Amino acid sequence: MTPSGKNFIFTFTKNLKMFEIEFFTLYGLTVGFNYSNDDLLGIDEEKDFKHTIQVFIGIFGFNINWYIDK
């Protein structure tokens, strides 16, 4: 049995420590999406676990970062 979306949202908000959004401009035109986390980057911190989603649209981009407990 697969978990429902409600369980994921509840678990996500329960473990969420901090949330931030950063806006930035790009040099050139692009469209894209990028995901990264501390495991993929090889960062081993004891306190928080960081996830990042980057979205690029035209000459603008933004990062969505959230931190959870390890």
Query: In the chain, where are the structural domains located?
Result: 5-69
- The helix (H) or strand (E) run that includes residue 7 is helix 5-15
Q: Say if residues 36 and 55 touch (Cβ distance below 8 Å).
A: no
pLDDT mean over 28-42: 84
Note the pTM of the prediction, 2 decimals: 0.66
User: 25 in helix, strand or coil?
Assistant: strand
Q: Say if residues 64 and 53 touch (Cβ distance below 8 Å).
A: yes
**pLDDT digits over 45-69, tens only?**
667 778 889 999 999 999 998 888 7
